[in-house]
Structure 1
Amino acid sequence: MIKVENLKKIYGPDEALNITELTIESSECFGLVGNNGAGKTTFFRLILDLIRASSGRVMINGEDVTKTEEWKRTVCSYLDEHMLLSFLSPVEYFETLRKIYGLGEQDLENHLEKFSPLFNDEILGKKKYIRDLSKGNIKKVGIAAAFLGAPSVILLDEPFENLDPTSQNRLKKIITEEREINGTTFLISSHDLIHVTDICNRIVLLEKGHVLQDLKDKKEVMAEALTDYFDR
């Protein structure tokens, strides 16, 4: 469970985020939407302790993320390509992560097999460094890496961006199955309202750093509420 209490991030005179209280339950698929500058990426970076809050705190399973490292064993993410070791090939990168996580070779093979439809024979064994892949394929590598090691929480920032329609649908299937089979909690930030409403059972709308709507309803009802907001 992730719990936010009086969380603020201020840059000079500008308030980037101000969330009084928010709880994300285990096994939720939590969607985060909003226009540019709404505070989505700031919120994710605060959860991951990549930046420090001006005030307030984020708790993961009862632990303040700024005061312990234990939560990092069960939380993984992919926010952007800067999180990758782009000077490695995808195979080298996954092998490096396998050793860090203490996984067996068969564990990695099984993991990559799960992502084979998403990779579409365009990533593994191509003798390319990650940095030389297309933006969409770089994203696929990052997303597959975020799933490695069976984390209980996965954060994905704009996971559908730069993916073709077939890959978007395959990714949605992977996320849905991971949640249904393993009870994984997902936090997904996206500008793509269709995909977010397809897979998320809860969607929070941010506006200028504040929670404007917290939607927990049928897909069609959430889609209508979001359409009304963004069509203003």
Structure 2
Amino acid sequence: MIQVKDIKKVYNGVIVVNVPQLQINKGESIGLVGNNGAGKTTLFRMMLDLIRPEAGEVLSEGKPVAGNEHWKEYTASYLDEGFLIDYLTPEEYFYFIGGLHDQSRPQVDEYIARFGEFFNGEILNKGKYIRDLSKGNQTKVGIISCLLQKPQFLMLDEPFANIDPTTQYRLKELLKDINKSQGVTTLVSSHDLNHVTDVCDRILLMEKGRIIKDMATNASTLAELEEYFAIGQSAHHTTLPVDEEENH
């Protein structure tokens, strides 16, 4: 479904993303993990054509993402609150997003009503603008606005970061449900290893712009990741021979 080919992004002379090859197949649930500065958000932004790479390309359904519109019909993403229109109420924003996808207000109302528990009574019918919501509640609005679009490919950047534990649990169940029962391809970045290994069948570990591990999730994945991050990046680099480090 998605192919990343020889993609590089450079800031101030430093390569911040360098991914020779990445294949995301239809129906996969993928977690992207890594420390701050690993390049996760930059990779997301290139996959969404928000920034352009110095080299390489991203293909969606075999066609380049850059400069094209086809992928927007089946792709939904939430990276941060900057994606929202903060001078609207949540209801107005949902109607706006629904209207972009030929959904009437009654259709939007019917769809949104099923997320009452996820909203925990804090989003709808409160008369608040999105800018006046907590960051966690803004995240809830962003995530549900993605699902409202009924995407085939869903990208979420750190969706667990600002939400409470109950909502984290509900979000995990939502993500597993849309992947397993609806076949939605999901790509979720997170610092929370427990959440991402619980939700995703495949884990990509990113360090200093490179994807250094690509593993299927199994019973030992969480422990392997915890051990990796406990040791720390510097230790990994000091133990790698130069030629092996070049190949990662």
TM > 0.5 = yes
1:168 aligns with 2:137: no
1:99 offset after TM fit, Å?
1.4
Aligned equivalent of 1:223: 222
1:64 offset after TM fit, Å?
0.3
Provide the C-alpha distance between the structure 2 equivalents of 1:158 and 1:114, rounded to a whole number of angstroms: 23
Q: Deviations over 1:98-127 (max 9, x none)?
A: 211111334312321232211011100000
Provide the C-alpha distance between the structure 2 equivalents of 1:106 and 1:216, rounded to a whole number of angstroms: 41
User: Quick check: 105-114 or 138-147, which moved more?
Assistant: 105-114
Aligned equivalent of 1:30: 30
Provide the C-alpha distance between the structure 1 equivalents of 2:47 and 2:86, rounded to a whole number of angstroms: 24
Give 1:107's aligned amino acid: Q
User: Quick check: 124-133 or 60-69, which moved more?
Assistant: 60-69
Aligned equivalent of 1:114: 114
After TM superposition, the structure 1 = structure 2 runs for residues 148-159 of structure 1, keeping only pairs within 5 Å, are: 148-159=148-159
Runs (4 or more) in structure 1 with deviation over 6 Å come to none
1:212 offset after TM fit, Å?
1.1
After TM superposition, the structure 1 = structure 2 runs for residues 53-72 of structure 1, keeping only pairs within 5 Å, are: 53-72=53-72
Provide the C-alpha distance between the structure 2 equivalents of 1:115 and 1:52, rounded to a whole number of angstroms: 35
1:161 offset after TM fit, Å?
0.9
1:210 aligns with 2:210: yes
User: Quick check: 189-198 or 92-101, which moved more?
Assistant: 92-101
Provide the C-alpha distance between the structure 1 equivalents of 2:129 and 2:189, rounded to a whole number of angstroms: 27
Q: Secondary structure at the match of 1:231?
A: helix
Provide the C-alpha distance between the structure 2 equivalents of 1:111 and 1:160, rounded to a whole number of angstroms: 22
Provide the C-alpha distance between the structure 2 equivalents of 1:76 and 1:211, rounded to a whole number of angstroms: 23
Q: Structure 1 residues 79 and 96 mapped into 2: Cα distance closer, same or farther (>3 Å)? A: same
Give 2:230's aligned amino acid: D
Provide the C-alpha distance between the structure 2 equivalents of 1:205 and 1:114, rounded to a whole number of angstroms: 34
The unaligned stretches of length 5 or more in structure 1 are none
Larger Rg: 2
The unaligned stretches of length 5 or more in structure 2 are 232-248
The alignment's TM-score, normalised by the length of structure 2, stands at: 0.91
Query: What's the RMSD between the two structures over aligned residues?
Result: 1.0
Q: Structure 1 residues 217 and 122 mapped into 2: Cα distance closer, same or farther (>3 Å)? A: closer
Provide the C-alpha distance between the structure 2 equivalents of 1:135 and 1:129, rounded to a whole number of angstroms: 12
The question of whether the paired residues in 1 share the 8 Å contact of 2:153 and 2:184 is answered with yes
Aligned length: 231
The alignment's TM-score, normalised by the length of structure 1, stands at: 0.97
Calculate percent identity across the aligned residue pairs. Answer: 46
The question of whether the paired residues in 2 share the 8 Å contact of 1:103 and 1:149 is answered with no
Give 1:127's aligned amino acid: G
Provide the C-alpha distance between the structure 2 equivalents of 1:104 and 1:89, rounded to a whole number of angstroms: 17
The question of whether the paired residues in 1 share the 8 Å contact of 2:197 and 2:217 is answered with no
Give 1:144's aligned amino acid: I
Q: Secondary structure at the match of 1:174?
A: helix
1:190 aligns with 2:190: yes
1:176 offset after TM fit, Å?
0.8
1:194 offset after TM fit, Å?
0.5
Provide the C-alpha distance between the structure 2 equivalents of 1:212 and 1:35, rounded to a whole number of angstroms: 13
Provide the C-alpha distance between the structure 1 equivalents of 2:86 and 2:39, rounded to a whole number of angstroms: 27
Q: Secondary structure at the match of 2:171?
A: helix
1:47 aligns with 2:44: no
